[in-house]
Amino acid sequence: MNIYLDIDGVLLINENQAAPFADEFLQYILTNYPNSTYWLTTHCWRGENRAVEILTPVLKEKTLKMLSIIKPTEWGNYKTDAIDFSQPFLWFDDDLFPEEEVILQQNNASGSQVRVNLYKDPNQLQKILDSFPVR
């Protein structure tokens, strides 16, 4: 299964603070999906990958060492440009464009998007971990 990760609103609650359980979430994902985890964030867009730079001040050293295995993606106007719809996937993001929602629907993949809302539930990453699909 491919895993696509946004940063703002998913791994970061604000620009200076990691989301609760962000380290545990990333460590779990990268331990279980080391070859199929991708950045799908504006911090990794149009050939520029600033994901690790953005996360370095707020994550634990153990987690930071693991981030190098996350692959960058290439996408244009919509993040869905980078998704491989031929493979099962989970996409963790807090905010989608209406066009991206339509593209997910057209590809019968609406259920593969996990909407993260840290303002509504700051502990959502822990709850996701508790219910994560078993490999």
Cα 74 off chain centre by:
14
134 falls in which pLDDT band (50, 70, 90)?
Answer: low
Residues 98 and 35: their CA atoms lie apart, in Å, by 30
Domains of the chain: 2-130 (3.40.50)
Is the model's pLDDT at 101 over the cut of 90? Answer: yes
**Going by DSSP bridges, is the β-strand pair 12-14/2-5 parallel, antiparallel, or unpaired?**
unpaired
Range 17-32 average pLDDT: 97
30 falls in which pLDDT band (50, 70, 90)?
Answer: very high
Is the model's pLDDT at 132 over the cut of 90? Answer: no
Statement: the pTM of the whole predicted model exceeds 0.85: yes
Q: Which residues contact 53 (CB under 8 A, 6 or more apart)?
A: 43
- Between the CA of residue 107 and those of 9, 92, 110, 125, what are the distances in Å? 25, 17, 8, 26
